[in-house]
Amino acid sequence: MTNSKPDEKTLELHKVYASDSPERTAEIYDGWAEEYEEHMRGSGYSHPAMVAAMLARHQPAGGDPVLDAGAGTGIMGEILIALGYPNMHGFDASKGMLALATAKDIYRELRPGLLGQRLDYDDGAFAATVASGVFTQGHAPLDGLDEIIRVTRPGGHIVFSISRSYLGETFETKARALEEAGKWRRVGASARYNSTPLGEDVLLSQVFAFEVV
């Protein structure tokens, strides 16, 4: 008989997706932090690589500051620094994840922060902002995009993944509203892909790139 019980990494993902608030999500990630990267490697987690590839297509490498929104354990920062974006800054709601990212000693600055609330950065502080695996069910609300736009300078790029219940018309409605308000314009989008190809579930996702107006 096949064992239908979810493995540990799948169970943790299900907990996060079922979360009813960003604060509860942060608590789950605090408890998951030490095993997070091992679990994600086992699922073939592809969001960071997809977001990094899209950023490199639209934002030239160099020393301008880049914000990692929802930095987690710093996977995104490691990739972008290797690709020539050395001036990385980041924030995350989980203290446990931030502690692991801090220990890597790769970011210029890391601080606590929660998408959906005002971010503790000046207007136009960053040349680009990335968000990998953040805009999805049980995580950050799409209203967090407004703050990301505020802290990204005009002409800079915002690159992020969208998945699960946000993917499709829910996101498109928000994206159109921001475009009609003159906040940004779409410059790129990936095809849909499975963000955990080695895992038990198919998690369809898409990466988008916008230029701040």
First to last CA, the chain: 57
Q: What is the CATH number of the domain that holds 115?
A: 3.40.50.150
pTM value is 0.85
Tell me how many domains the chain contains. Answer: 1
For position 200, what pLDDT does the model report? 77
Over residues 39-62, the pLDDT tens digits come to: 667 667 889 999 999 999 999 999
- For each successive 10 residues of the chain (213 residues), what is the average pLDDT? 44 55 67 67 82 97 98 95 98 93 97 94 98 86 97 98 94 98 98 87 93 98
Q: Is 126 within a domain? A: yes
Q: Is 2 within a domain? A: no
For position 22, what pLDDT does the model report? 65
For position 127, what pLDDT does the model report? 98
Q: Is 202 within a domain? A: yes
Q: Is 3 within a domain? A: no
For position 58, what pLDDT does the model report? 98
Domain containing 32: what range? 8-212
For position 183, what pLDDT does the model report? 98
For position 147, what pLDDT does the model report? 98
Tokens coding 25: 């999500």
